[in-house]
Amino acid sequence: MKDVIKRFYDEVLNGDDLDVADEIITPGFSPRGAGPAGPEALKQIARYLRSAMPDLHFDIEDMIAEGDRVATRWTLRGTHEGDFFGFPPTGRPVEVRACVVFRMEDGKVAEIWPVVDASSLQRAA
């Protein structure tokens, strides 16, 4: 399971290889409960993040797996060049931290629950 989550970050988000989403995301995956579902939902998130920070990079600090869950703690770094969750671009370096719990199903990501460090998000703006 950890290998799938590493691909989620390393290949899709960091590497901008959106086709990998088709291999690692279930058809029912819907991170916000609205909008596209399945692999297209992750592709949309990746495009949005890349438009906000073209040089973004996620560093996984911790990863723990048990049962059908994988939990990660990561730091996102990049340059704030576009809208980022309602914050207009600043051109400054950004560092955001979060913890995310993934539910896996048949070796793919089925659900995701992110908890973003609000103070790091506000400092990023």
The tens digit of pLDDT for each residue in 38-83 reads 999 999 999 999 999 999 999 999 999 999 999 999 999 999 999 9
In this predicted structure, the answer to whether residue 121 has a pLDDT above a threshold of 70 is no
The pairing of beta strand 69-79 with beta strand 93-105: antiparallel
Query: What pLDDT does 85 receive?
Result: 83
CATH number at residue 48: 3.10.450.50
Domain region containing 8: 2-124
Q: Pick the more confident residue, 35 or 3.
A: 3
In this predicted structure, the answer to whether residue 35 has a pLDDT above a threshold of 60 is yes
Number of domains, the chain: 1
Contacts of 71 (CB under 8 A, 6+ apart): 62, 63, 64, 65, 99, 100, 101, 102
